[in-house]
Structures are given as C-alpha cells and as structure tokens.
Amino acid sequence: MADTLTITDNRTGKSYEIDVTDETVRGLDLRQIKVEEDDFGLMVYDPGYTNTASCRSAITYIDGEAGVLQHRGYPIEELCEKSSYLEVAYLLVFGELPTGPQLERWVYDVTHHTFVHEDMKAFYRGFRHDAHPMGILLAGVGAMSTFYPDGKQIEDEEERYMAAIRLIAKMPTLAAFSYRHSLGLPYVYPDNDLGYAANFLAMMRRMTEIKYAPDERLAKALDVLFILHADHEQNCSTAAVRAVGSSQVDPYSAVAAGVAALYGPLHGGANEAVLRMLRRIEKVENVPDFLEGVKSREEKLMGFGHRVYKNYDPRARIIKKHVDEVLALTGDNPLLDIATELEKRALEDEYFTSRRLYPNVDYYSGLIYEALGIPSEMFTVIFAIPRTSGWIAQWMEMHGDSEQRIARPRQIYTGERDRTYVDVADREGPEKITGPPARRPVRARRGA
C-alpha cells in the first residue's frame, strides 16, 4: 500500500489523499484543499522553517535526538580523527573521499589560489581602523564577485570548480587580512609551504620572522575545529546561501549572504557571546546565581541549546577533548573552570534537561580560539573559513537539483487593504513633533 495521508477538511467535509514520501508531504499538494473554487488553497505557516524541508540533500546527516552527525555518510568523530580539513572539504563538495592523487591535486589547487588580488588590499584600507573583522570579511567576499566576474557563468562546470577553489583558498587570506586591518598591522601573504590551518595562523601572527611556522599541535587543533565547522545541513547561513543562490547569482555573492547570516549572535556569533558570558560570571562561585538569572529569563545561557540537537552536540564532545590538549600547551584559562561548572550544574538542573538544552559546538570553541591567541571578534570569522566548503557544496548541490526554484516563501497578509489615500496636508496627527531628534549611536557620531 502506498504511503498516503488522508485529510478531511471539516470546513467542507471533503477528503483528500496526499502522498507521503520520506515522511514528508509536499507543501503544494495542500493547495488543492479549498472551500471555494477560486480560493488560493491551503498553505503551511512555519516561521523559522522549523518543520519545513527546503531541499533534498546528500551532504550532511544529523540525528538531533541521538546526537549523530555524518558527512556523506562518514561519522564526524572518524573524520576528525583521521582526515584533514581539506580532505573533508573535498568530501563535502564531491561526495567521496579523495584518492591520493585527487587529494594531491585538490590541495595543490587550493594552495595555489590563496593569494588575493592586490586591489583587494586597497579595498580593505577603506575600512575604519576599528571595523569588526566579520564586517570586513563580509564585504571582501561580496567584492570577490567583482574580481572574478566569470563566476557568473554558473552553468560552466569549470567555473563552478574555480569558484569552489577560490572561495576555500582565499577565505583564510581575507579573514587574516580583516584581522590585521583591525590591528593596523601590515597584511601577511600566504605561505605555500604551510598547511591550510598553519598558513592561516601564520597570516594572523607573523611579524618580522622570515619564516613563521606555528606549533604543529596547535595547527592540528585548529584543523580539527575547521572539520567540525565545515557543514551542518540547512542552518541559517546555509539556507541563506541556498536562498540567495537560487536567484542564480554568482557563488561569491551567495556565499557573502552566508557570511552575513553567520555574523548574527544566535548563529556564528555565539562563541564570542559565550566568552563574554563567562567573563561576566567572573568566578565559579557566581555560577548558581547566573543560572538562576537564566531560569528567570533575565539571561540566556549562550552556547547551550540547538534547533536540531536535543542531545549533546557531538561536535561539543570532540571540542571538549581538544580544549584540555590545547590548554596543556598554552597554559590554563580560568574561564574553563567556570564553563565546566556551568555545564555540570545546567546538566543536573531540571529547567535545562526538561527543555533538552545541552552544550552546542560554540560552548567550548571560544576557549580554544582564545588559547590560540585569537581575539573574540575573530571567532565568527574563523567559523566562516571552514563553513565555506559546506556553503559551496550545498550551493553546487542546489545547482544540480532540477526541483529547485527561486526561493520565494508565501505570507499570511495581516495588514489593511483597499485604503483611501490621504494627502500629507490632510493627515491627522500632532501639529508639531517636539523633543530631541532620535539619538544616533555613539560610534556613528564619532566619524565624519
């Protein structure tokens, strides 16, 4: 028997049989459900898309109930243990782990596209010295579409490959330049002798050294963090890349939309917020008070909770292991004690367990970044580096999916209709607006 759903519309008494495929009904199948023949038909109201599948995807599998994450079928734990970030990036984009020669070619191509056009430096110089590096990165990625106009040829497989290579290769360079700009330091060019993560650390840190090679163990820890952040199916930024990409804009512009989405504190900005929260808590003894504040909804426990995971985020488990390793090399961080106590108490508290709130990937990642000497404004930027491979893989998948159309949700209109236009002189309201003009933010007032 075919899987179907029978719906009876109690407004009309009519019954409808709707196909169920992959435990999903097609939204458009509901449109036949009408009271009057000229009705629009039934729609689904789903703010935040909490129960809407927007695509079919074979890239990342998540079982949020069980805390499982797999890329192209491989468990994240195994990828972190055995693969490099670039290998995982290849896996995401092409669907298979690369053979030796394929990996060699991929690494060569990425390594030989890490330089950015010199004009990009001039573009970066236009930003205020204290501009947030994520704002700079966002603009830089958007600007790439003007540096590589051939990216617009999205039907050309070679151009799509080049866009993937360029985005993955140049993202660390743009990210490091954003950081150096915010410190007023000269930009450091990529070093082809270094691996992907080590090269990024070198571009952030190098000063007068002729050759700068970061500690291999720290570079490895960063590479694991890159793997952990590479893709996470239809999250806010990936959905943004797909939605913007569905207009058939070039991939650089689509990925810039992903960077913009990631900038938000509820998405990529969460680890920065976790460190701010831990600093505010100040000492372990203040943890119970802070948790009371969360329960009375005066505070939010940043780094906890996830739309999909209703169990321990498997990425948080892997990161937690690496926190200790990295801190053993770089020295203790008192914030770790606060974080550990906060997690322990929250996991014992019915308020959090009943809402199935567990640490997510961002709970511990900020502590590692801080130990690596990376300032908190850079955390989101560092998230964007590996997520680029996920964005581009999802963009490519969308491109090859004949069912995809331009993203264009519906709405339930709640405003007025058919009003009579009134000329400005005849509109009702106070004769004069008194009081000071709206205050501009302090930062905006400082500049010219």
Q: Both tokens of residue 426?
A: 């005849």
**Minimal distance in Å, beta carbon 50 to ligand ACO?**
7
| Burial class of residue 359, CB neighbours in 10 A (0-12, 13-18, 19+) | buried
Q: Which stretch binds ligand ACO (CB under 6 A): 33-41, 158-166, 188-196, 353-361?
A: 353-361
Closest-CA residue to 110 (of 168, 160, 54, 71): 168
Helices and strands counted in the chain (H then E): 18, 5
User: Which residue bears the tokens 């002729």?
Assistant: 210
Interface with ligand ACO (CB under 6 A), residue from 302, 338, 342, 372:
302
At CA 103, angle to CA 99 and CA 108, rounded to 5? 155
Can residue 317 be called a binding residue for ligand ACO (CB under 6 A)?
no
The reply to whether 267 belongs to the active site is yes
What 3-state class would DSSP assign to 61?
A: strand
The alpha carbon dihedral of 359, 361, 363, 367 has a sign of positive
**Minimal distance in Å, beta carbon 359 to ligand ACO?**
9
Interface with ligand ACO (CB under 6 A), residue from 267, 276, 310, 317:
267
Task: Catalytic residue, from 223, 231, 250, 362: name it.
Answer: 362
Can residue 67 be called a binding residue for ligand ACO (CB under 6 A)?
no
Task: Catalytic residue, from 71, 306, 322, 399: name it.
Answer: 306
Query: Which of the residues 372 through 411 are near ligand ACO (CB under 6 A)?
Result: none
* Number of residues engaging ligand ACO in binding (CB under 6 A): 17
CB nearer ligand ACO, residue 152 or residue 307:
307
Phi, psi of 436 (to 5 degrees): -70, 155
Interface with ligand ACO (CB under 6 A), residue from 117, 276, 307, 310:
307
Cβ–Cβ under 8 Å, residues 133 and 377: yes
The reply to whether 3 belongs to the active site is no
Can residue 60 be called a binding residue for ligand ACO (CB under 6 A)?
no
Cβ–Cβ under 8 Å, residues 196 and 110: yes
Q: Which stretch binds ligand ACO (CB under 6 A): 54-62, 188-196, 358-366, 411-419?
A: 358-366
Residues 6+ apart with CB under 8 A from 53: 24
What residues are paired with 8 via a beta bridge?
Answer: 15
Q: Which stretch binds ligand ACO (CB under 6 A): 10-18, 57-65, 301-309, 397-405?
A: 301-309
The rounded distance, in Å, linking the Cα atoms of 171 and 258 is: 13
Q: Which stretch binds ligand ACO (CB under 6 A): 27-35, 155-163, 357-365, 435-443?
A: 357-365
The reply to whether 229 belongs to the active site is no
Give the footprint of ligand ACO on this chain (CB under 6 A): 266-267, 270, 294, 300-307, 355, 357, 360-362
Residues catalogued as catalytic: 267, 306, 362
